[in-house]
Amino acid sequence: MDTHVAELGIACEACHGPGEAHVDANRDPRRRYDLHASGAADGTVVNPALLDKERATHVCTRCHGVHRFKNHTDRERWSEHGFRYRPGDLLTDTVDIDQDGLDKFWPDDVVRVTGREGNGLFKTPCYLKGEMSCLTCHESHQKPGDPRTRAEWADDQLKPLMRTDHACLQCHDEYSDEETLAAHSHHPPGSSGSRCMNCHMPYTTTGLLKAIRSHTVTEPSAAETVEVGRPNACNLCHLDRTLAWTAEHMEDWYGTPQPQLDEDDRSIAASILWALRGDAGLRVIAANAFGRDSAREASGSEWMTPAITFLMTDPYHAVRYVAERSFRKQPESARLGLAYDCVAPFETRSRETLEIFEGWGARARPGRRSGPELLIDEDGQLMLDVFNRLVSERDLTPVTLNE
Ligand code: HEC
Ligand code: HEC
Ligand code: HEC
Ligand code: HEC
Ligand code: HEC
Ligand code: HEC
């Protein structure tokens, strides 16, 4: 290929389109002054904020999405002339935003890997029936007067307040009333269990060695976990509870019919099933959840040590890496010091974690929380037989979730 680059990196023209006409026109200071004074839009260049929701979202989806060429001719054209798409166009004029048969999606087509936020938004009711776009929550330039440091803004490039309920309340303002919200969420208003995104945009997308919020706004349910296999928002916080517990409360609170559940789903905490029996994609989501402060507060954390240390011996590097980060919040991690290295050879990295794992199970502690759902018997010891059975049932399907 004979390649030419106009601008390297994700620079101005990637989001604003070709700028030559804009630069030429604005050599004239009078034009600049008039535009500034009138506040009118400058028609010589694209401002994503002035595009409709679809075209605005397409600016970002060109990179933050999965799409394919419509046909062979288009592919050939691309290899000679590059992408035809320009900001302001409809991306769908040049490519199909289609994801059939790709393993980066859950069976109901919700994205499971970062970098495809566009595909996520295109399934969201707030986009489909409303005016939501990426720019509802994100801004590509930090605005003057923003009290956040540059680094705070740059981490996720969100508009002010967009980590809070405000992101949703700008359209669903009926829930700004605390009582209405508490009646809806069934959690006290100040609780993490009452924050919109914790139920509607849970951490079920993975990548960059962590989990991020799903960019498809969904409603949590136990059926989603049974039918699609995706961890539901309730059990991602209530890590110590069974799927049946969630199903019962969902029926109680929202009238959602309970799905058919097997014996394990009724008797063992959902997070333990994901960590021990799940495929590598589920295991990394569980490993991440064990380290989230809101989940640790809702679920207690002492009981997690065996599951987390076991994930630190996982065959997948990413699972081990994320599990270690969560383990650093456990008191036992002081004993391991900095010795653990998730990419060291198996023998080296396993010895100490296995010692902690076995030590935890054998060493009963008075007052340790017990219960069959946590695989801890009345003496405070790990129920190793059930633990080993679940591991022997682990889903070993190879998983590739590249970003
Ligand atoms: C990743 C996409 C992206 C890149 C790269 C980008 N912009 Fe923007 N730009 C936007 C969006 C989106 C807006 C709308 C406001 C916002 O989100 O900050 C915008 C708004 C603007 C505005 C209007 C500001 C206003 O207050 O109305 C100017 C001027 C601008 N960009 C200039 C630039 C320049 C110059 C560069 C390169 C140095 C650049 N942009 C790179 C996405 C981008
Ligand atoms: C309803 C608000 C909302 C909308 C709409 C939204 N985002 Fe986000 N986005 C967020 C929040 C909140 C985070 C931080 C998530 C977290 O803490 O993991 C985020 C994080 C991200 C990240 C960083 C992920 C990482 O690896 O840390 C990317 C990239 C991103 N969004 C892209 C997009 C794109 C592209 C669109 C449009 C297709 C979009 N977002 C629409 C709220 C939103
Ligand atoms: C030309 C490709 C391209 C375009 C267009 C683009 N992005 Fe990105 N974006 C990327 C890449 C690549 C990264 C990861 C960069 C990195 O990690 O250094 C990224 C990172 C991000 C992040 C994560 C920042 C962080 O580190 O927390 C957010 C949020 C984001 N983009 C939002 C958007 C939004 C919103 C738009 C549309 C206005 C957009 N991007 C347009 C390629 C693009
Ligand atoms: C830009 C406006 C806008 C924003 C921001 C927004 N929504 Fe929506 N949302 C809508 C519209 C419009 C609908 C469709 C309402 C209808 O069908 O009556 C909707 C529908 C929904 C639904 C119903 C889904 C269904 O299947 O019927 C849920 C749940 C939802 N939104 C949650 C949220 C959450 C949580 C947030 C914040 C992360 C949010 N919305 C942000 C506009 C928005
Ligand atoms: C972001 C974390 C989070 C999410 C998501 C969440 N909760 Fe909670 N939940 C909590 C916290 C924290 C408490 C403790 C009470 C309080 O201070 O709010 C709690 C309390 C409860 C309680 C009462 C105490 C108990 O343990 O019996 C029930 C029942 C409950 N949640 C069920 C659910 C269900 C069902 C869902 C999903 C629809 C859900 N929660 C989603 C954090 C969460
Ligand atoms: C504890 C979990 C939980 C929290 C927190 C939560 N929701 Fe919901 N939400 C649900 C469930 C479950 C449903 C579906 C059941 C139903 O229809 O009531 C739902 C349905 C919805 C709907 C569609 C039905 C309707 O009422 O129009 C919207 C919109 C919505 N939520 C918005 C929000 C907003 C906005 C927030 C934050 C201010 C929020 N939710 C916080 C669990 C939650």
Instruction: Determine phi and psi for 147, rounding to 5 degrees.
Output: -70, -10
Instruction: Tell me if 74 sits within 8 A of 41, measured CB to CB.
Output: no
Q: With a 6 A CB cut-off, is 132 part of the ligand 5 pocket?
A: no
Q: What is the pLDDT of residues 281-295, one digit of tens each?
A: 999 999 999 999 999
Nearest residue (by CA) to ligand 4, atom 25, is 125
Is the pLDDT assigned to residue 102 strictly greater than 80?
Answer: no
The number of the ligand 5 atom at minimal distance from the alpha carbon of 246 is: 35
Instruction: Tell me if 69 sits within 8 A of 78, measured CB to CB.
Output: yes
As beta bridge partners, residue 212 has 205
The number of the ligand 1 atom at minimal distance from the alpha carbon of 134 is: 12
Rounded Cα distance, 258 and 310, in Å = 31
Q: With a 6 A CB cut-off, is 167 part of the ligand 4 pocket?
A: yes
Rounded Cα distance, 43 and 211, in Å = 40
Q: With a 6 A CB cut-off, is 247 part of the ligand 5 pocket?
A: no
Percent of the chain with pLDDT over 90: 81
Would you state the pLDDT for residue 1?
66
Comparing 34-38, 326-330, 357-361, which segment has the lowest mean pLDDT?
Answer: 357-361
Would you state the pLDDT for residue 100?
66
Please, which contacts does 328-336 make with residues 24 or more away whose CB atoms are closer than 8 Å?
328/291, 329/291, 329/296, 329/301, 330/301, 330/304, 330/305, 332/305, 332/356, 332/360
The number of the ligand 3 atom at minimal distance from the alpha carbon of 156 is: 27
Q: With a 6 A CB cut-off, is 14 part of the ligand 3 pocket?
A: yes
Comparing 52-61, 259-268, 320-329, 357-366, which segment has the lowest mean pLDDT?
Answer: 357-366
Is the pLDDT assigned to residue 179 strictly greater than 80?
Answer: yes
Residue 161: C-alpha distances to residues 181, 216, 291, 392 (Å): 18, 19, 24, 45
Nearest residue (by CA) to ligand 6, atom 11, is 219
Nearest residue (by CA) to ligand 2, atom 18, is 212
Rounded Cα distance, 20 and 139, in Å = 24
Nearest residue (by CA) to ligand 4, atom 34, is 168
Classify 129 as helix, strand or coil: coil
Ligand nearest to the CA of 201: 4
Percent of the chain with pLDDT over 70: 99
Nearest residue (by CA) to ligand 2, atom 36, is 134
Rounded Cα distance, 381 and 47, in Å = 61
The domain ranges of the chain are: 1-21+45-98, 220-392
As beta bridge partners, residue 158 has 138
Q: With a 6 A CB cut-off, is 181 part of the ligand 6 pocket?
A: yes
* C-alpha 172 to ligand 4 mean position (Å): 7
Neighbours of 231 (CB within 10 A): 26
Enter the pTM of the model: 0.96
Rounded Cα distance, 58 and 54, in Å = 6
Q: With a 6 A CB cut-off, is 197 part of the ligand 4 pocket?
A: yes
β 68-69/210-212 pair status:
unpaired
User: What is the biggest distance separating any 2 CA atoms in the chain, rounded to whole angstroms?
Assistant: 83
* C-alpha 216 to ligand 1 mean position (Å): 25
Mean pLDDT within 150-173: 97
Would you state the pLDDT for residue 201?
98
Q: With a 6 A CB cut-off, is 200 part of the ligand 4 pocket?
A: yes
Q: How sure is the predictor about 336, in pLDDT bands with cuts at 50, 70 and 90?
A: confident
* C-alpha 217 to ligand 4 mean position (Å): 8
* C-alpha 219 to ligand 6 mean position (Å): 7
Mean pLDDT within 164-168: 97
Q: With a 6 A CB cut-off, is 168 part of the ligand 6 pocket?
A: yes
Give 85-123 as a DSSP string. Answer: --TTS-GGGTEE---TT-TTB-TTS-B-BTT-HHHHHTT
Task: For residue 323, give every residue at least 6 positions away whose Cβ sits within 8 Å of its Cβ, in sequence order, or none.
Answer: 287, 290, 308, 309, 311, 312, 314
Q: How sure is the predictor about 297, in pLDDT bands with cuts at 50, 70 and 90?
A: very high
Mean pLDDT of the chain: 93
* C-alpha 316 to ligand 4 mean position (Å): 37
Amino acid at 256: T
Would you state the pLDDT for residue 228?
95
The number of the ligand 2 atom at minimal distance from the alpha carbon of 197 is: 12
For the chain, how big is the Rg over CA atoms in Å? 25
Mean pLDDT within 68-84: 91
Rounded Cα distance, 399 and 239, in Å = 23
Is the pLDDT assigned to residue 91 strictly greater than 90?
Answer: yes
DSSP class of residue 176?
A: G
- Exposed e or buried b for every residue in 321-353, given b needs 16+ CB within 10 A? bbbbbbbeebebbeebeeebebeeeeeebbebb
Ligand 4 probe mutation, 117, 126, 133, 184, most atoms within 8 A of CB: 126
Q: With a 6 A CB cut-off, is 222 part of the ligand 5 pocket?
A: no
Give 126-175 as a DSSP string. Answer: HHHTS---HHHHB-SSPPTT--S-HHHHHTTTBPTTTTSTHHHHTT-GGG
Instruction: Tell me if 53 sits within 8 A of 127, measured CB to CB.
Output: yes
The enclosing H or E element of 218 equals none
Would you state the pLDDT for residue 167?
98
The enclosing H or E element of 24 equals helix 20-25
Would you state the pLDDT for residue 82?
85
End-to-end CA distance of the chain: 25
Nearest residue (by CA) to ligand 4, atom 8, is 126
Give the closest residue to 303 by CA, choosing from 274, 277, 271.
271
The token duo for 118 is 């566009």
Rounded Cα distance, 249 and 309, in Å = 31
Q: With a 6 A CB cut-off, is 50 part of the ligand 3 pocket?
A: no
Residue 242: C-alpha distances to residues 65, 215, 321, 382, 403 (Å): 34, 26, 26, 18, 31
Q: With a 6 A CB cut-off, is 196 part of the ligand 6 pocket?
A: yes
